[in-house]
Amino acid sequence: MPTNPLTSVANYEAFIYGLPDTFACIQMSTLVVAQVGPVTAIVKGELHFGQGLVLRVLEVVDVRQRRIDRYGYELWQGREELWWYDSWPHPDLSELSSTDPHHKHVPPDIKHHRVPAPGLSFQVPNLPLLIQEVSQTYLSG
């Protein structure tokens, strides 16, 4: 498989469906890759971890451009939303300019409290970074 699986829908499917084999911390995956056009796919579903942690995933992928066009990632523990990442631009918020449009919503006011999201990208898969964040922050120790 290529280093960057965003080169074709088939490669990205293999990457997505292989995540539970790559990351032992994933207990279950409901992620589905649905091709919605010749070069476009939608990834939707959840990654389940221990301690009731669930990462909800939505990505729109354009393999012709070899990129993720849009995304939303939410981490839940039971009924509590711990954080979410999205790619909605906020050009008016200078505190997010270092990673614009990538940012993370965090407590205490999760809807309005946003911080930069270094490491997130449109050019490479984000899920390995997010899975590592879940594993290191919530599951280790």
Whether residue 1 has pLDDT greater than 50: no
The end-to-end CA distance of the chain, in Å, is 33
Confidence of residue 39 (pLDDT cuts 50, 70, 90): very high
Confidence of residue 3 (pLDDT cuts 50, 70, 90): confident
Domain ranges of the chain: 5-139
pTM for this predicted structure:
0.95
pLDDT tens for 67-123 read 999 999 999 999 999 999 999 999 898 999 999 999 999 999 999 999 999 999 999
3-state helix, strand, coil in the chain (%, to 5): 25, 35, 40
pLDDT, mean of residues 46-54: 97
- 73 and 67 in contact (C-beta within 8 Å)? no
* Look-up of token digits 């409290």: 113
